[in-house]
Amino acid sequence: MPIFNASLTAIDISETRRYAGLNKADFPQKLLEDACFEVQMLAQAKGVWELYEYDSKTSTLSANPDYLLKGNKITGYLKEAKKVAVLAVTIGEALEAAITEHFSKGNYAYAVLLDAAGTTAVEMAADQLNKAISQQASKLGFHTLSRFSPGYGDWNITEQPAVLALAYGQTIGIQVTESCMLVPRKSVTAVIGFVPTQTIKDCTKNHCNNCIQQNCLARKEDH
């Protein structure tokens, strides 16, 4: 599987503010800008993905061995899917060292902003890979659903090791801890359903209001 190199020409400041939980807080704009710029300089965004046949009747990916998806949200999300792309994305390890250094120097606010900007960066990289996957799906006659990651809804975070393996995330330096956290921290895994273009329905889209994590800082308001 080829490695996807994302291009982060700028880090979204408004998304960084949201991930930092600052939407209703007064915060120096320059500090936000500096954090976003530093993350842009440090990020080494890479992604990888693999496409699998999917049987919605048995909720099974045709892998070796086959992988059974568990959870009402994830299986409902994929009920019309015929194929599933499994992806992994990271922005590398350099940012972690910078965050640790700023914390050690007492620059707590800036370190928090760096962390939030890092989350924004990896999501931006995932969006770019998502777009590339969607283009490939279109060539095959499919429409792609939105990303769905372990830990979202009722899809247990304990599935993280299996999902990472299915995406071959280790080829871009991602590992998973015993507590099912990804390393480097600013990494994501996800699945994307491939639905035949003629059967796509808006109701299959993934929304924050379907998730049980009500207090998540990354939660988006439903409009």
How far is residue 126's CA from residue 106's CA, in Å, rounded to a whole number? 31
Long-range contacts of 205-208 (CB under 8 A, 24+ apart): 205/145, 205/146, 206/77, 206/145, 206/146, 206/147, 206/148, 206/152
What is the per-residue pLDDT for 95?
95
Distances (CA, A) of 105 to 8, 30, 40: 27, 19, 21
Backbone angles phi, psi at 100, to 5 degrees: -60, -40
pLDDT 10s digits, 131-187? 999 999 999 999 999 999 999 989 999 999 999 999 999 999 999 999 999 999 999
What is the per-residue pLDDT for 212?
41
What is the per-residue pLDDT for 197?
86
What is the per-residue pLDDT for 196?
94
State which amino acid sits at residue 30.
K
Query: Region 60-78: what's the mean pLDDT?
Result: 95
As given in the structure block, the two tokens for residue 52 are 């699998």
As given in the structure block, the two tokens for residue 24 are 């209703």
What is the per-residue pLDDT for 204?
44
* Residue 220 pLDDT level (bands cut at 50, 70, 90): low
What is the per-residue pLDDT for 2?
77
As given in the structure block, the two tokens for residue 177 are 């801890």
Query: Region 58-86: what's the mean pLDDT?
Result: 95
pLDDT 10s digits, 22-38? 665 667 889 999 999 99
